[in-house]
Amino acid sequence: MATASAGNPLKEHPAAATAVLSVVGYAVVVGTFLGFVPGRVFPDLSLEQVNLLSDAIAVVNTINVLVIAAGWRWIRRNEVKKHATAMVTSFTLILVFLVMYLAKIGGGGTKEFVGPTFAYYPYLAMLAIHIILSIVSVPVVLYALVLGLTHSERELRTETPHRKVGRIAAGAWLVSLALGVVTYLLLNQIYSWEYVASAAGTLVAPLVGF
């Protein structure tokens, strides 16, 4: 990835930068769920629009799975520039997902799984893993990105834990996204759901899926 100039605070303090960015990201998401973010920030969505956003989110996450897998393959083949492009593209897709997801929760609602017991509990288990990984991997992903954007290829290999952190970040995010797509299919395509409008004010909103 790109080499930063001397004196770059992001390069000199990547952990601090990661902490600040993580706190901001968590604050925006939690603020949306708790209703602290003003409702006027989000568009007032109909059920049809919520469904379209759910479909769009699934498409973006599916593409991101492929992008991360490609980036992983490229770095194993020492194709550093292709790997860097893939990882930056992946993070951009994460931001696109986040904007759509927050708009759906803040301006519309959520859908609760309605299906047989034998499918319900595996669905909840996969959804829980998806959510936990997406939460805990945020600082890891950001740290790998900050290192990658502020250090030269030589510095990344010899002076930073980028390789180890990047492997953890890519693996965790890959599993999270893949499980997110599977739960989307179970909820929206294979079984049924019940719509819950204006769910932004409840802490359990993240647990009901796309």
- Residue 23: C-alpha distances to residues 12, 29, 62, 107 (Å): 19, 10, 27, 23
Which has the higher per-residue pLDDT, 9 or 71? 71
C-alpha 192/C-alpha 114 separation (Å) is 5
What does the mean pLDDT of the chain come to? 87
C-alpha 61/C-alpha 88 separation (Å) is 15
Q: What angle do CA 157, 163, 168 make, to 5 degrees?
A: 170
| pLDDT of res. 161 | 95
Q: What are phi and psi of 192, to 5 degrees?
A: -120, 180
C-alpha 150/C-alpha 131 separation (Å) is 29
| Residue at 1 is within a domain | no
Q: Which residues contact 164 (CB under 8 A, 6 or more apart)?
A: none
| Residue at 3 is within a domain | no
C-alpha 134/C-alpha 98 separation (Å) is 11
| Domain count across the chain | 1
* Listed residue (77, 82, 79, 84) closest to 1, CA to CA: 84
Q: pTM value? A: 0.85
Both tokens of 72, joined, read 């992983």
Q: What is the pLDDT of residues 127-168, one digit of tens each?
A: 999 999 999 999 999 999 999 999 999 999 999 999 999 999
| Residue at 159 is within a domain | yes
User: Where does the pLDDT of residue 9 fall: very low under 50, low under 70, confident under 90, or very high at 90 and above?
Assistant: confident
| Residue at 2 is within a domain | no
| Residue at 4 is within a domain | no
Report the CATH number at residue 96.
1.20.120
Outline where DSSP puts E strands in the chain: 109-114, 192-197
| pLDDT of res. 38 | 63
C-alpha 162/C-alpha 147 separation (Å) is 6
* Buried/exposed code over 9-25 (b: 16+ C-beta within 10 A; e: otherwise): ebbeebeebbeebbeeb
| pLDDT of res. 194 | 87
Q: Which residues are bridge partners to 15 per DSSP?
A: none
Range of the structural domain that residue 96 is part of: 9-208
C-alpha 74/C-alpha 168 separation (Å) is 16
C-alpha 48/C-alpha 34 separation (Å) is 24
| Residue at 40 is within a domain | yes
User: Where does the pLDDT of residue 39 fall: very low under 50, low under 70, confident under 90, or very high at 90 and above?
Assistant: low
Q: What is the pLDDT of residues 100-137, one digit of tens each?
A: 998 888 888 788 899 899 999 999 999 999 999 999 99
| Residue at 152 is within a domain | yes
| Residue at 122 is within a domain | yes
